[in-house]
Amino acid sequence: MKASHVRKLIKPIENAYSEMFSGRVYRVGKGAVSVRNHSGEAEQTVVGVHGFLENHCYFTQAYEGPTTELILLTCSNYHIPVNGVTPETPYWEVPIKHLEGTIEYDACILNQALSNLPSTRNIRVHGHSRGGAVILEAMQQWPELYEDVEVVLEAPVLPQAKLHALVTTLLEPVSHGMWPWLIRLINTAPSSAYGQTFFGKMNPRKKQLLSKLFSATKDHLTIVRNIENIMDWMARTDTSVYNNIRHGTFLIPAVDRILDRTAMLASARQSPTTMRIVETEAPSHFITLDSKEWVPGFETLPAAAQG
């Protein structure tokens, strides 16, 4: 990548979205992990891994129960979407050797969080889109950690899958130097110009979270690196990574204009029979934001099943 392109790409992007948050925020490498306060005694732990250009608020309304301990990842070089909390550095943080902005780097953040933070043994890890790939990569890095963990992969980036043809067509002519210009253009255009095509039917929560997509990262370089790494990871990762999953669910949308739905399903079908494939009626890539009804109940969690 040319030095002049890199200079343009590392220009900071201001944080444009945050919500009130009650809990603790830990800095881990170039990312963060937030642990939300819960009013009842925790019965289950959910770890949420957001997707490309999203933030951890994607999961907050889907898991509001007073007995749910919610742990939320902020991927590397993304803004932490919280108000009123000062991030702290945890004693258990260990340096990460991978390149920041990659699925491999964020998988290390997830593994540090999962090995240190849950206070229950009833654990679900829920990843949306790129977050699905982060979970699969994390399992590959540390399989034993996931032996009793339930996994929810929602409209996920999967091994041997691909981007939707619309997205590929848009990205093909974009050189590195064009990114800052393109993002400024997108940010000044009304989201109605492209929203319906890629995001499907809007609702208040979708509008709130998806209108600030291009200010989720701290710089444009992270956007470019995320995209290139997603495409590379899908191409070179084998479906044998599924062998590390003990139990869980693939949530597949009825319509997806971000990722190729046919390739997503074909990849999911290579997984062990302990993984359920649920073809939802969700009209977009953002299943949880379309309707919380698609989020599996906790009766599927390992401890509940044993009970």
What are the tokens at 225? Answer: 């690196």
- The predicted model scores a pTM of 0.94
State percent of the chain over pLDDT 70: 92
User: What integer pLDDT is reported at residue 198 of this predicted model?
Assistant: 85
- CA angle (124, 15, 136) in 5-degree steps: 25
Whether 247 and 125 have beta carbons less than 8 Å apart is answered as no
What confidence score (pLDDT) does residue 46 get? 98
Query: How far apart, in whole angstroms, are the C-alpha atoms of residue 149 and residue 303?
Result: 10
Q: What is the pLDDT of residue 167?
A: 87
Confidence at residue 307, expressed as pLDDT on a 0 to 100 scale = 47
| For range 156-185, the mean pLDDT | 83
Chain position carrying tokens 């309707």:
291
Taking residues 158-183, what's their average pLDDT? 83
Q: What is the pLDDT of residue 306?
A: 52
Q: Which residue has the higher pLDDT, 83 or 155?
A: 155
Q: What is the DSSP letter of 37?
A: -
Task: Choose among 30, 188, 216: nearest CA to 106.
Answer: 30
> Strand pairing of 82-83 and 68-74?
unpaired
Neighbours of 126 (CB within 10 A): 28
Do strands 82-83 and 19-20 pair parallel, antiparallel, or not at all (unpaired)? parallel
Stretch (H or E) spanning 69 = strand 68-74
Q: For 231-289, write each residue's pLDDT tens digit.
A: 999 999 999 999 999 899 999 999 999 999 999 999 999 998 889 999 999 999 999 99
φ, ψ of residue 49 to 5 degrees: the values are -120, 110
Complete DSSP assignment for 162-231:
-B-HHHHHHHTT--GGGHHHHHHHHHHS-GGGTHHHHH-S--HHHHHHHTTGGGSBSBHHHHHHHHHHHH
Assess whether pLDDT exceeds 60 at residue 305: no
**Confidence at residue 303, expressed as pLDDT on a 0 to 100 scale:** 63
Question: What is residue 51's predicted lDDT score, i.e. its pLDDT?
Answer: 98
* pLDDT of 101 higher than 90: yes
- Digit-coded pLDDT (tens) for 45-74: 999 999 999 999 999 999 999 999 999 999
- Reduce the DSSP state of residue 26 to 3 states and report it: strand
Cβ neighbourhood burial of 88 (10 Å; 0-12, 13-18, 19+): exposed
pLDDT attached to residue 244: 93
Give the integer Cα–Cα distance in Å for 251 and 266: 13
Assign 131 a pLDDT band (cuts: 50, 70, 90): very high
Mean pLDDT for all residues in the chain: 91
pLDDT band at 6 (very low <50, low <70, confident <90, very high): low
What is the reported pLDDT for 10? 79
Calculate the alpha carbon distances from 92 to 16, 71, 78, 138, 177 in Å.
30, 16, 21, 17, 39
Beta-bridge mates of residue 211: none
pLDDT at 274: 85
What's the confidence (pLDDT) of residue 265?
98
210: left (phi over 0), alpha (psi -120 to 50) or beta: alpha
CA atoms within 13 A on the CB side of 14: 3
Q: Which two tokens stand for residue 226?
A: 């995320």
Which of 9-23, 105-119, 162-176 is modeled with the greatest confidence? 105-119
d(CA 297, CA 286): 18
pLDDT at residue number 11 = 82
Q: Determine the Cα–Cα distance for residues 134 and 111; give it in Å rounded to an integer.
A: 10
pLDDT tens digits, residue range 185-225? Answer: 666 666 655 567 788 999 999 999 998 888 899 998 899 89
CB-based contact 22:69 (threshold 8 Å): no
